[in-house]
Amino acid sequence: MNPEAEYVAAIDQGTTSTRAMIFDRNGSVVYSEQLEHEQIFPRAGWVEHDPMEIWRNTRRIAAAALAGAQLQPGEIAACGITNQRETTVVWDRHTGQPVYNAIVWQDTRTDDLCRELAGDVGVDRYRERTGLPLSTYFAGPKIRWILDNVAGVRERAEAGDLLFGTMDSWLAWNMTGGVDGGLHITDVTNASRTMLMDLHTLQWDEEICADFQIPTSMLPTIHSSSAVLGSLRTVGSLPNVPLGGILGDQQAAMFGQACLEPGEAKNTYGTGNFLLLNTGTEAVLSKHGLLTTVCYRLGDEPARYALEGSIAVTGSLVQWLRDNLGIISSAAQVEELARRAEDNGGVYFVPAFSGLFAPRWRPDARGVIVGLTRFADRTHIARAVLEASAYQTREVIEAMEADSGVPLNTLKVDGGMVVNDLLMQFQSDILGVPVVRPVVNETTALGAAYAAGLAVGFWKSVDEIRDNWAHGGQWEPTMADDERSRLFAGWNRAVTHSFDLA
């Protein structure tokens, strides 16, 4: 590390957009650049991204962030990568060309395959080893789909010509040289979302790979989340900057929120919602529909684990209102529209667009709007859209409390939706606990910057990270208990109407 360097960079490759951010020693945002990419929906239930578009965007925003902050590459101590998890790319190691679009985590095309893999044992066949139920959500079945369905790909994979990666691997390979010696790497958090890694050994599980018929030669090497992995060679704006860390975005947000002790939790409101609870060095298996996942691993220290409640559709329901129904023209407008309604008017929107994830895991569910009367209008729908995020969050918190035996007394939040005051107030009301957000809401990018900065000694210990966390806003519950119970009971009835529709 250049001892003069006073900044750390992070690339945050999200479901909706890619951000390049630069942070200073206090963890404050110095500069941020962002580009959205196309959401490709070739059929009902299918969701894809173009990996080349995302790589082009990454180079553009990295250059723009450095120029905007008026910094030279030598002033950047390290760069970290964080990413939407599970989204799967397979590419040719000789040409750098993907063999198919990236299959996104929300895509449900592998439903039959998952059922087939579950066989008589059921969806928990690999749960002890991977922490996960068999679900369309994870990368393993998506790789298998590409191998089975794209002409010639299985042969090329078996000949050793193809590489698999989640978006971190795809970007890391491209950023460290691509066809010219790019590193084929991932970290323990991303690998823990493939269903192919043993949660305890932190290595690929050969038996599961064989069951999934995935050649292990395609898989990246698994590294710690905070370690110098190489240097950037093909991001013109950041030559020779050390790549100091990789973390899945939800795990990065744990870092950015300084949830570094067992018992600490956060909820991120982005395309979906992801609530994680740090369980320390113990990988706790859930009895209530949550996932067990690697939270992070720093250098050679033992890995830390988390329980996770993943909700597939929250912010993307707001996007759907904007793009598919056109009743708002920007995501922010949903709040203004929802405020025009006094309450939900009896309307509930269950956004089971990818089935239901945690804690219900119902691949057979599909989206429904229930409770409609002639009275209901777009304002009630907007309100039901926002309330859906809060109800789904309450479901995963109840599961978390049942697993841990510890009641939640405050909810730490972050992500794109937390600027929505109506949602945050309703969240506090429906939970009956305060909701707190930090000053720096981009906790995902910040977490990746922290991991990278720790690896090069820019920050000396996690204590500095804890000290950087600053209280940015708070909402207190004001709803009466019986109203809270009545509304949540209505939600639970609404959810049953989404079942058996796929």
Ligand X SMILES: Nc1ncnc2c1ncn2[C@@H]1O[C@H](COP(=O)(O)OP(=O)(O)O)[C@@H](O)[C@H]1O
- Going by the DSSP 8-state scheme, the letter that residue 338 receives in this structure is H
Given 5, 7, 15, 366, the residue binding ligand G3P (CB under 6 A): 15
Three-state DSSP at 204 gives: strand
Nearer to ligand X, 62 or 218 (CB): 62
Write each residue from 386 to 415 as x if it is in contact with ligand X (CB under 6 A), else as -, in one continuous string. Answer: -----------------------------x
Given 231, 250, 278, 428, the residue binding ligand G3P (CB under 6 A): 250
**Is residue 327 part of the contact set for ligand X (CB under 6 A)?**
no
Which parts of 341-370 interact with ligand X (CB under 6 A)? none
Tell me how many residues contact ligand G3P (CB under 6 A): 13
Max distance between CA atoms of the chain, in angstroms, equals: 67
**Is residue 241 part of the contact set for ligand X (CB under 6 A)?**
no
| Residue appearing with tokens 């950037």 | 232
**Is residue 17 part of the contact set for ligand X (CB under 6 A)?**
yes
Nearer to ligand X, 8 or 382 (CB): 382
**Is residue 14 part of the contact set for ligand X (CB under 6 A)?**
yes
Tell me the C-alpha distance between 137 and 274, whole Å: 13
Tell me the C-alpha distance between 10 and 401, whole Å: 33
- Residue 174, Cβ density class (10 Å: 0-12 exposed, 13-18 middle, ≥19 buried): buried
Q: In 3D, which of 163, 44, 5 has the Cα closest to residue 95?
A: 163
Which tokens is 99 given?
A: 């063999």
Tell me how many residues contact ligand X (CB under 6 A): 19
CB of 171 to ligand X, least distance (A): 15
**Is residue 296 part of the contact set for ligand G3P (CB under 6 A)?**
no
CB of 72 to ligand X, least distance (A): 29
Given 271, 393, 420, 427, the residue binding ligand G3P (CB under 6 A): 271
Given 32, 84, 225, 354, the residue binding ligand G3P (CB under 6 A): 84
C-alpha separations of 126 from 185, 212, 480 in Å:
24, 12, 43
Residue 353 in contact with residue 271, Cβ under 8 Å?
no
Given 270, 289, 351, 447, the residue binding ligand X (CB under 6 A): 270
Binding-site entries for glycerol: 85-86, 137, 249-250
What is the phi-psi region of residue 432: left when phi exceeds 0, alpha when psi lies from -120 to 50, beta otherwise? left
Nearer to ligand X, 260 or 382 (CB): 382
**Is residue 319 part of the contact set for ligand X (CB under 6 A)?**
yes
**Is residue 371 part of the contact set for ligand X (CB under 6 A)?**
no
Task: 111-114: list long-range contacts, CB under 8 Å, 24+ apart.
Answer: 111/45, 111/136, 111/355, 111/363, 111/502, 113/141, 113/144, 113/145, 114/141, 114/363
CB of 86 to ligand G3P, least distance (A): 5
Tell me the C-alpha distance between 313 and 392, whole Å: 9
**Is residue 189 part of the contact set for ligand G3P (CB under 6 A)?**
no
**Is residue 447 part of the contact set for ligand X (CB under 6 A)?**
no
CB of 381 to ligand X, least distance (A): 14
Given 80, 140, 355, 416, the residue binding ligand X (CB under 6 A): 416
**Is residue 86 part of the contact set for ligand G3P (CB under 6 A)?**
yes
Residue 366 in contact with residue 500, Cβ under 8 Å?
no
Buried b (16+ CB within 10 A) or exposed e, 390-409: bbbbbbbbbbbeebbeeebe
Stretch that binds ligand G3P, among 45-53, 166-174, 268-276, 392-400 (CB under 6 A): 268-276
Tell me the C-alpha distance between 475 and 428, whole Å: 6
**Is residue 271 part of the contact set for ligand X (CB under 6 A)?**
yes
Tell me the C-alpha distance between 9 and 78, whole Å: 6
CB of 15 to ligand X, least distance (A): 4
CB of 164 to ligand X, least distance (A): 22
Rounded to the nearest 5 degrees, what angle is found at the Cα of 388, between the Cα atoms of 105 and 391? 105
The site partner of 17 among ligand G3P, ligand X, none (C-beta below 5 to 8 Å per kind) is ligand X
Binding-site entries for ADP: 15, 19, 271, 315, 416, 420
Tell me the C-alpha distance between 248 and 256, whole Å: 12
**Is residue 174 part of the contact set for ligand X (CB under 6 A)?**
no
C-alpha separations of 294 from 132, 168, 284, 406 in Å:
11, 16, 11, 21
Binding site residues, ligand G3P, CB under 6 A: 14-15, 84-86, 105, 248-250, 270-272, 310
Sites of contact with ligand X (CB under 6 A): 14-17, 270-271, 315-316, 318-319, 331-332, 334-335, 415-417, 419-420
